[in-house]
A and B are shown apart, each in its own frame.
Chain A
C-alpha cells in the first residue's frame, strides 16, 4: 500500500470542504472493508484519505410515518441488522443484512460504503430498488436526491463526484398490503452473492397486484430493475403461472458479466429462479399483510 496523508474531519461540513479542496487526489474511507483491499492491491493510490468512519453525524436510523426511513451513510451493516425500527417497518433490510458478508465485516462496514463501492453483486441495492429508495448526495454547494435506480453509472462507478459525499439513504413509507422479499444465490455463508433478487408486491382491495417492483443484483454492470416483468403483474391476479412467465422475462432483461464464479448464461438462468422464489415469498407476505 502506498503512503497517504490522513484526514479525519469532525463534521459533514468539514468533510465537504476537504473533498472540495482535494477532489481527485483524495478518496473517502468509511469502514474500508472494500477500499483497503483496493489500496492493498495497488489498484488506487490516493494522496489523501478522508476518514468518515467516526462521523457520528451520519450514524443514525430515523423513521416517521410521513417521510419514511432515513439511514445515515456511516451506519454500520450490523446497526441496520439489529435496529428495532427497521425490523418493525422494513424487515427485509434486516433479513438482507443478517446474511451480508460476515459478522466481522458487518460490524465495521457501512451501508453507504456498500452502495458507493457499487459492486453489482452488492446486497444492499436490490431491496432498496424494490422499495423505490433514494440517496442524498452532498457537496460544498448543496445537496441532491438521486434514486437508487439512477445511482449506478457502470461497473464500480456511481454518480457521486470526487467532491461529493453520500450522506443519507431514504426509503419511502411502505404502502399497506405490501410484501417484500430478498433472496440471493451464493455458495457458502459469507461469500458475496452471485445473483440476488428482491421483489415487492402491493395488492389492491381485490387482492390483485397494484404495484410490483423487482430489483436484481449481479446480473448487469449495475443493480437493475426488471421493469418489463414488473408491468406484467400490475392490475393482474398474481398466480404461479404469471410468476413463472414474469421470471423468464426478468431473466431476459439482464446482461450479466461473466466472471470466475459463473458464466453469463448461468447467471441469466439462476436469476430467473431467484426472481420466481422471491416473488412467491413476497406474495405470501403481501397476502398475510392484507389479512
Chain B
C-alpha cells in the first residue's frame, strides 16, 4: 500500500504517494526527475548519492524516503543561485576537479556540508569530510584544492 510523503526539496514542498520501500534517491531520480543526484553502489559505500537532509549530508540510497517526511532536502540542483553557480561548483570548474563527473554532485554536496559546519577547514578536515566520496577518475588532489579554495574565497568575501 502506498503512503504519502510530504517533503520539501530545494525549497519546493511536495506531496508524493510512494511504496514504503522506496529510498530517497529513487524519489529524487524516478519520481521527480532530479537526476543530478547519482546512484552508483546503492549500498552506502560510495556517497555519489549524497544529499543534505536538514543541512546534514547523507547517502540518499541508504535513507528510506518516508524517514524524511516533514524534512528539507537539498540536492545538487538546489544550490546554485539562479544562473549563478554555487561557489563550490565554480571552484570545481576552475580547478578541473572532475573527469567523468559521476562523483561530482556528491563531492560538492559533501563539500557544502563541511563548509556550512566549518567555514575554515584544514586540509585534513577536508579529506575526512569527503573520505566516503569515491572518485575513480581524477584522484582527490584537485577536489580537495577546490574545496579549500572555496573556503578561502568565502572567508574573504565575508570580511
Contacts and interface: CB of A to CB of B under 8 A. Distances in A.
Contacts, number: 84
Interface residues of B, number: 29
Contacts of B3: 6
B132 A5 contact: no
A193 to B, nearest CB: 14
Contact of A33 (B47, B50, B62, B129): B62
Prevailing SS type, chain B contact patch: mixed
Interface of A: 1-6, 8, 29, 32-33, 36-37, 39-40, 49, 51, 53-54, 78, 98, 101-105, 107-108, 188-190
Given A102-B47, A190-B131, A107 B57 contact: yes
Given A36-B44, A54-B67, 6 more contacts: A6-B20, A32-B64, A49-B64, A103-B113, A104-B62, A108-B59
Interface of B: 1, 3, 19-21, 23, 42-44, 47, 50, 53, 56-59, 62-64, 66-67, 110, 113, 127-129, 131-133
Nearest to A54: B67
B20 A107 contact: no
A4 B21 CA distance: 7
Nearest to A102: B132
A168 to B, nearest CB: 22
Nearest to B54: A107
Contacts of A1: 21
Contacts of B66: 6, 8, 51
A49 B20 contact: yes
20 contacts: A3-B19, A5-B1, A6-B20, A8-B66, A33-B44, A37-B43, A37-B44, A49-B64, A51-B66, A54-B67, A101-B132, A103-B128, A103-B131, A104-B58, A105-B62, A107-B53, A108-B58, A108-B62, A189-B127, A189-B131
